Chain A
């Protein structure tokens, strides 16, 4: 008999799979926003309207790299309904998500850097009038040389797209060496080397970005927006508008999907606020789908060279990874993305020595940034395909080879990441067993194959984006005689279920019904700061803050009830809306009565909780990217059928196991696993954000190949295979009730597992994604001609990475610090954030 899902029905008494006895945690319940979302009541940013509201449009650059010579508003000013314009000089302060990359302007000041870069904002009475006026704005450009690719950026240091960055058109260049990698390669019996490519792709949230800004005072503005990071938007607005942070209110509306695409502060958000302050009227902007493709901040295209020393039994002795990221026109999260293309290589399998070199290039294309998995799916693809090749070459079983060298729980990796719980072994066992791997892999008929791959992801980044000692998440609870609990938290609901997670954790501790909790979230005026919905950080960080606030509230209420009941407070149990003596449940009272006792004794009741992650042991520059309070683990087996005649293939089934630590709500965990499988399949098979060059006579411009949903292919209902999902619960001491992330991790194994399954099916390698049928065909044709049975990139660009920053590993007796800071020309410190105290104040 199936358990009732409606929490109003009798609670199912089944224990969680870890055998722990919870009221609510670990059991399926209806999301707290479930009813609103199925009735159309959820108010997304574009659903808001206010009296006297006007509409804004942005005039975007039609050329990829040019100096702005003239902006002519004369025709546009005469258009019906037009109320006002903004141009770049009215907002001279630059902004950007990372303190080290403050390289964006609300509107371009002197030059444009990609097709889609905004130049003018125009407001009018209706959206249509604003649009028509935007077409009448004339911008004269003087074209500059464009840079299309990483190779071009390496070869063309001048002219620079930006006047900052590590050198020429390289935004970032880094080289780090953990341990004596040369000695590691010498220990190896064989050395394997591959060059791989991961094409860029975009988030494609169903909701187009929208913002509404309104003023209440001459110097006070409220901004409603589809943002994953209201706190960072708040800081950017403070900087550009030159208003105190206390006069700016940012409210993140529920996002209609984010996936990382709404985690930068955006031009349209800043312009809407500025326009509202100019006009004194509510201003709305809703982006077109084409504009969403230009906002982008999606997956970086990354070219990778991976070289690994291996013993005959498959033991890895050393690895040298090089990555080259095509960053697009702005910094965005790019410095962090660059580090992330190397940081998490070490947390799955023992990698005793490890060297990592990387560059991120500026190019005249839409800016790349964080997409689900942020910088880690690309090297994970390279690593997992590389391992599959190694296993095949050594005659080892790919699953067995991985199992034999798992990173142990409670250990520190060669690049100084602290791993806590580690359920990858259980994940591999589940998918191997479930898929019949041992019998079927390598033994299926031609055209039919299985591929296996693994992955790991952060449950929140160990450090905030800007250096500070304050909590990364906070929760405030307010209790009163009604028995209701108001929960205030800065977390942002982007569909992942964060509202339900903080509510469930609070309800669990207080033993009350979810319906008795009222949420106020993502409002910088009213809620404690939470850094945002990115890095899979909310369940762990906001969850821990909620846990602390709820435990404090429980203690207060327990004291009130204990006095009345004449039993020790620490012997009281909170469950099913009652507060009672653990040994004698008859002695008790309702939750509401207990709150009344506490309010009578202590006055108005409120508690707070906050969360700061534990300090990571790494002390070298770059150690700020990679640490997390807990790592999730995933393993996948993919079954694929390939038609060798055409290269057309179909993924028929996916087995996915994910170590989530502890489910807060298994139904929601399942949704995240299935959603990750889906998005990973899209990236493996079809999704790509690509550009084409216009002919020389037509400006030689690089334009987006297909900024439309019809041409940007993403999987439909008909493309989705069956998925067998295994939830592995290996509770982590740092997670609330042991919970770790689930929103991003299960995406990671998908791309390499698909590539590996194609090899098992037809015996050829496609070393890049997305994998198109013609690539498989070309690899088969190459094989038939006696050439290498492979399709993929051939070489990595020639880059002088200089002397790497040398960091001895824990095994070598290191202390987490680099030993050649001066020689490597690297500043001291740990990471990508500025370490200036004034960075805290806002904006910078």
Chain B
């Protein structure tokens, strides 16, 4: 539709072929709609969440051409021809991605609301940097807020997943992350 044909109170519609999780989707939406809105409301990919819709919380993060992007600030109209990856695109068949596996096992997802945004951000990090330091992980995720976990389980989950992805199957997350620290004076009974 030409913008000249617009009626008062209506918005210009655009049509775009969006490539999401390796699948093409023909979509039509108002020109000002964010990628977040189109993913959730047009494609029913509700795994991507919203926490503020103003670019403040990181919850809506998706990958565009492998890079983390806040989908609430990205115009969907500008996403044609780009590879969009959401949390729904992380599994391999019926198997979880190592990050998903580690998050589920460690309890890095409590309420799970910030989790999709953090998972894809971590995925982008590990694809670029298979053996990140703790500081590098923190800096990659500094824009993603989580109110439940206190962040530690997320960091430990990413380190565990990174090891698995490098083929280091001997790596295990620190025992005290799961059982707490051995009580002082008990000679490390938890060790």
Contacts and interface: CB of A to CB of B under 8 A. Distances in A.
Contacts of B145: 206, 709, 714, 716
Interface string B45-64: 11111111110110100000
Choose among B51, B107, B152, B185 the residue with the greatest number of A CB atoms under 10 Å from its CB. Answer: B107
Contact of B113 (A31, A44, A288, A724): A44
A206 B59 contact: yes
Given A666-B178, A670-B180, A38 B96 contact: yes
A255 B147 CA distance: 12
Interface stretch (B12-20, B82-90, B125-133): B82-90
Contacts of A35: 96, 100, 104
B113 A206 contact: yes
Given A40-B47, A727-B180, A34 B104 contact: yes
Interface residues of B, number: 75
A257 interface: yes
User: What 5 A-B pairs are tightest by C-beta distance, nearest first?
Assistant: A40-B47, A495-B111, A37-B112, A256-B113, A2-B172
Nearest to B119: A38
Interface string A33-45: 1111111111110
**Which has the most chain B C-beta neighbours within 10 Å: A6, A31, A666, A675?**
A675
Contacts of B51: 206-208, 289, 709
Contacts of A5: 105-106, 178
A674 B149 contact: yes
Contacts, number: 223
B105 A34 contact: yes
Contacts of A679: 147, 150
B4 interface: no
B41 to A, nearest CB: 8
Contacts of A433: 184-185
Given A39-B96, A727-B179, 12 more contacts: A5-B106, A31-B107, A37-B104, A40-B47, A43-B46, A207-B113, A289-B54, A666-B178, A709-B56, A710-B56, A717-B151, A717-B155
B173 interface: yes
B177 interface: yes
A727 B155 CA distance: 21
B110 A497 contact: yes
Interface in B141-191: 141-155, 172-173, 175-181, 183-185, 189-190
Nearest to B110: A495
B116 interface: yes
A716 B145 CA distance: 6
Contact of B56 (A79, A207, A668, A708): A708
A205 interface: yes
Contact of B146 (A46, A206, A723): A206
Interface of A: 1-3, 5-6, 17, 28, 30-31, 33-44, 46-47, 49, 79-80, 128, 132, 203-208, 254-259, 288-289, 426, 429-430, 433-434, 494-497, 666-671, 673-679, 708-710, 714, 716-718, 720, 723-728
Nearest to B112: A37
Which has the most chain B C-beta neighbours within 10 Å: A37, A434, A668, A673? A37
Contacts of A259: 147
With a 10 A CB-CB cut-off, give which of B105, B144, B148, B178 has the most chain A CB atoms.
Answer: B148
B3 interface: no
13 contacts: A5-B178, A17-B189, A31-B104, A37-B104, A37-B112, A38-B100, A39-B100, A206-B145, A434-B184, A670-B177, A716-B142, A723-B152, A727-B179
A495 B46 contact: no
A717 to B, nearest CB: 5
A340 to B, nearest CB: 22
Contact of A288 (B53, B90, B152): B53
A42 B106 contact: no
B148 to A, nearest CB: 5
Contacts of A30: 104-105
